[in-house]
Amino acid sequence: MNEDSERLSRALGAYLGFACGDALGATVEFMSPKKIQRLYGVHRDIIGGGWLGLEAGQVTDDTQMSLVLGQAIIDYPDWNIRAVADNFVAWLESEPPDIGNTCRRGIERYRDRGELFGPPSADEAGNGACMRNLPVVLATLNRPAFFEAWSLEQCHLTHHNALSDAATLTLGRMVNSLIQRRGDEVCRQHALSLVEQFPEFRFDPYPGKATGYIVDTVQTVLHYFFNSTDFESCLIGVVNQGGDADTTGALAGMLAGAKYGVEEIPLGWLSILNRQVTKQIQKQTHALLQMNCF
Ligand code: MN
Ligand code: MN
């Protein structure tokens, strides 16, 4: 493979890995590790169900919000935050299977009052902004200043919080370094800088909480990402931790997919992932990568 096709493999790995993690984790979202063990032994197949009663291969808000954000970037390559917000409104009004409270509040604030962000808030430290940022990463691989500005603007539509901001930028930089093959050390250094800046993110030793609080989410994702050596075991470890398992699964799938490439995603997972979603992700990944000049 040449450099372009390797980069494409890792970018597709990140986006499809993200969706697979969402679909895999949704089955056990909000369960405890004990309950998962009782029901499934080890949960390792994309089978749908869960509290949302999903079909096998169906994704949730994590992937859906990423896709509508990605579409706004493709439609407005110079960035248009109102187009992003308008797409979120249209998505909200399509009655999606799930939506976080903080996301709903921010989207409704924009819809009803036209506001693109609220005041900084300690209550907005959920993972809802961080979880949907991958399209920004893919569109700005060689444009770090744009990556930061666009990421923060899209985050602040719903989450105006320093922990959410720092986590979003960190995971984005990690994915970028993996897709661009900067080396494992560079990737790890981004995670360590986050912990240096905000010690609450420390993930070693792993505290074992996997809630939707951005700190718990990131600790879970980083713990399993750095303590696994292949795509499949990384995702299985994360989702069997339960809690916000679709979101931790998605973010772990994003990192592991960027590291190992799309070829390492189990075919059994890829083949069951909703066909429409797979097609949209493939199309978006190509279009978003083309916005960079390598
Ligand atoms: Mn979800
Ligand atoms: Mn979730």
Domains in the chain, CATH or no CATH each? 3-289 (1.10.4080.10)
CA of 185 to the centre of ligand 1 (A): 31
For residue 26, the CA-to-ligand 1 centroid distance in Å is 7
Cα of 248 from ligand 1 centre, angstroms: 10
Tell me which amino acid residue 110 is.
Y
Cα 217 to averaged position of ligand 2 atoms, centre (Å): 10
Amino acid 61: pLDDT: 98
Ligand nearest to the CA of 30: 2
Residues with C-beta atoms within 5 A of ion ligand 1: 60-62, 246
Residues by chain with Cβ below 5 Å of ion ligand 2: 244, 246-247
- What is the pLDDT at residue 262? 98
**CA 24 to ligand 1 center in whole angstroms:** 11
Per-residue confidence (pLDDT) for residue 293, from 0 to 100: 85
pLDDT tens digits for 137-193?
Answer: 999 999 999 999 999 999 999 999 999 999 999 999 999 999 999 999 999 999 999
The reported pTM is 0.98
User: Can you give the pLDDT of all 294 residues of the chain as single tens digits?
Assistant: 788 999 999 999 999 999 999 999 999 999 999 999 999 999 999 999 999 999 999 999 999 999 999 999 999 999 999 999 999 999 999 999 999 999 999 999 999 999 999 999 999 999 999 999 999 999 999 999 999 999 999 999 999 999 999 999 999 999 999 999 999 999 999 999 999 999 999 999 999 999 999 999 999 999 999 999 999 999 999 999 999 999 999 999 999 999 999 999 999 999 999 999 999 999 999 999 999 988
Ligand nearest to the CA of 213: 2
In the reported structure, the alpha carbon of residue 199 is separated from the centroid of ligand 2 by a whole-number distance in angstroms of 24
Largest interatomic CA distance in the chain: 50
**Closest ligand by atom to 247 CA:** 2
For residue 25, report the distance from its CA to the centre of ligand 2, in Å. Answer: 8
Q: Which amino acid is at 260?
A: Y
Q: How far is the CA of 216 from the centre of ligand 2 (A)?
A: 12
- Distance (angstroms) between ligand 1 centre and the Cα of 99 equals 7
What's the CA-to-centroid distance between 129 and ligand 2, angstroms?
12
